[in-house]
Each structure stands twice: as C-alpha cells, then as structure tokens.
Amino acid sequence: MRALITGAGGLLGHALARHLAERGDRVYGTFRHPPDHWPFGQVVPLELGAAPGLQGMADQALAVAEPDIVFHLAALTNVAECEAEPHAAWSTNVGGTAHMASATRCAGSRFVYMSTDSVFDGRSGNYGEEHSPSPINWYGCTKVRAEEIAQAADPGAVIVRGTFYGLHPDGHGTLAGMLNALRAGRRLRLSPDAYFSPLPAPVLAQRLVHLGQSGLSGIRHLPGPHCSRWAFGMAVAQHFGLDPALVQQGSPVAVATAAVRPVDTSLITHHPGPWPVGELPDHLATLTAAGPPPGEAPAPGTE
C-alpha cells in the first residue's frame, strides 16, 4: 500500500508512519518543518492554508505520492493558539483540509481525516457518532467545518474522532511534561471531574489503518477507556514507577488564555471494530518505558 500522511512530524503522524513502514508499506509524509532525514519514507513538500495557490501544492503532493490512502492529520491543535490566531487556525484547519480533500478526490485516493473530541461542548460526555457537534472554542469550530468539507468532497471519506497521547522522540507533548514534572518531584493537580477517552498514539495509528483499508465511510469514533484527568495521571505515575502521591485532585494551575475547554469529551462508538476498548494500564504498556529526555517544560497543571 502507498500512503500519504500530512502532519507526519506530529505525535500521531510519527506513530502512523512507523506502523506503516514496519508493515512494509510505501510511506510519504508532509511536515510543517521538514526534517533533513526521515527514516520511514519520502518527504513531500506541502504548505497547508486557504490561499487558492496552495491547491496546486496539494495536487502535486498527491501526484508525487500516488497514494492509495491519504491520512490527513495536519492541523493547528493548540487551543489557545487557535483562539489567539483565528484566521491562521481557519486557514490551516479548514482551508488546508479543503485543498487536501479536493486533491484526494481528483486523484481517486481514499481520504481519512483525523478530527477531535473537541467538536463537543463537554456538558454530558459519552458522545456517540449520532450526537451533533457543539464546539465551545475556535479550535473545535474549525474541526467541525473541516469535517463537513471532507464529507462533502468525498462521501466515502472516513472522519475519525478521538484523542491520543504518547511519547514523541523530540520529548515534547503533554505526557512528556507530566513525566518530567513527576520525575522532578513536582505535584500535578488534575481534575477528577474532567473526563476523556484517550488512546496511545501507536494504538490509534493501527486503528486508523484498519479503517482506511476497511471501505467504511462517515464519522467513526475511536475511543479508549473512559477516565478522568486525575485517574489518567495516577495511571501514568504507577506505570512509570513514579510517586502517585504527587498526582493530586484539583484544578490545574491557571494559564492565562481566552480559550474555553470542554469538561467531559469522553466518546463512545456504535460501530466497534475488531478490538476491545481495553484498560488504561494495558494501553500504557504499549509505550516505551524510557520516557522523554529530562529538562522539558512542565505540563499545564504542574507546580
């Protein structure tokens, strides 16, 4: 199989590229900041945005890769950044998706779009595919509109909602920040009343490939185990042999931002795949125990 991954430098893109390369697939990747060397395949130039001239770059990326499947993961995902730079967020998340969906349709490839659990307002939780989106921040708004564009461009596209965690080789990310804080003896204050249903990036990557090759279409939720932010932090501390007493219930340290975040974005699915939801400790075991390098910035909610 030939696959094109946009956002191949991100946490999920890295996991997906590794998985495809290990399967023996031909992998092509696009990057916000292209690396000098990429061990999983060929780097393809691409700039995402709403400018009409960027459609040609998307078309050219498809012409180079000739993919069977396009996994469109690239997006501006920092909620505060999207709130502060709404035009940039819309250009990348909506305009970029429109160009990629159009190019994919013209090339006759399959389109798998990675959306988010942040399309929901977080008031009730346990959202299924049948629930209407109700975003409460600009990031969620851009992702809802991108979902609509992807489906309009290709009714056979797969729109995947979920959230994920993992350890990226560059040592960045929320999980890395949590581990760095705990290893330094700093407390984590995490809410026992904020819920989500995350999957490890390597597990989500495998399920994305399954959906891409399945012939299924439409909106699909890929939830992990339902847990609170505090329960997740406790499981992380226990799995990595760190002090769970440092993981305390409470509100995270306030960060000055205009972005509002939904409280309960837990997902369920009415279209389960050939896999169990699984338990959080089992999912954490899929990650390397090495952890991120020391010295990274702490995650939000630490002190």
The CATH number assigned to the domain holding 130 equals 3.40.50.720
233 located within any domain: no
Distance in angstroms (rounded) separating the CA atoms of residues 51 and 120? 28
- Look at residue 45 and give its three-state secondary structure: coil
Range of the domain at 136: 2-164+198-221
Whether the Cβ atoms of residue 134 and residue 141 lie closer than 8 Å to each other: no
Whether the Cβ atoms of residue 103 and residue 62 lie closer than 8 Å to each other: yes
157 located within any domain: yes
- The answer, as to whether pTM is greater than 0.75, is yes
pLDDT tens string, the chain, 303 residues long: the values are 999 999 999 999 999 999 999 999 999 999 999 999 999 999 999 999 999 989 999 999 999 999 999 999 999 999 999 999 999 999 999 999 999 999 999 999 999 999 999 999 999 999 999 999 999 999 999 999 999 999 999 999 999 999 999 999 888 889 999 999 999 999 999 999 999 999 999 999 999 999 999 989 999 999 999 999 999 999 999 999 999 999 999 986 555 456 799 999 999 999 988 888 889 999 999 985 333 433 333 343 333
281 located within any domain: no
Q: Give the total number of structural domains in the chain.
A: 1
Token digits for 39?
A: 């061990």
229 located within any domain: no
148 located within any domain: yes
289 located within any domain: no
CA-closest candidate to residue 237, choices 173, 296, 284: 284
155 located within any domain: yes
Task: State the Cα angle at 10 between 154 and 238, rounded to 5°.
Answer: 120
Task: Quote the DSSP letter at residue 245.
Answer: G
288 located within any domain: no
CA-closest candidate to residue 70, choices 41, 29, 30, 112: 112
